[in-house]
Amino acid sequence: EVQLVESGGGLVQAGGSLRLTCTASGLPFDDYAMAWFRQAPGKEREGVSCIGWSGDSSSYADSVKGRFTISRDNSKNTLYLQMNSLEPEDTAVYYCAAVSFYVESNDLWKSNVAYWGQGTQVTVLS
């Protein structure tokens, strides 16, 4: 059974930082690109960042460029999202996903998701 388990969400003041972690099991982790998505209340789920299987390639939604950093440790089957300079607009449920292959355009990430995590809430207070 494939499991993607996110952790690290919580409450933070605007300008603060959080690091999300996604631990994968039941799949060949380094065969997949990985991505972070988020969904705010009343909005569609949107791609935040994607990273290739080796970690050498990554891309970001324009709204988080320069503030968020995606990384992965294949030896630990773990994906990370370092979020700095958080804004109230970043408030959402954040989801980890295994993606069939890496593409740079965030418009294509969702259609290539093979597995989803259950999500972790991030709330940024103004």
Residue 108: Cβ-neighbour burial (10 angstroms; 0-12, 13-18, 19+): middle
Of the candidates 50, 58, 52, 46, the one whose C-alpha atom is nearest the C-alpha of residue 94 is: 46
Sequence-separated (6 or more) residues with CB below 8 Å from residue 112 = 33, 99, 100, 101, 103
Give the model confidence (pLDDT) of 11-31 as tens digits.
Answer: 999 999 999 999 999 999 999
- DSSP reduced 3-state for 74: coil
Of the candidates 59, 124, 119, 67, the one whose C-alpha atom is nearest the C-alpha of residue 93 is: 119
Give the model confidence (pLDDT) of 45-64 as tens digits.
Answer: 999 999 999 999 999 999 99
**What is the average pLDDT across 31-39?**
97
Across the chain, what does the average pLDDT equal?
Answer: 96
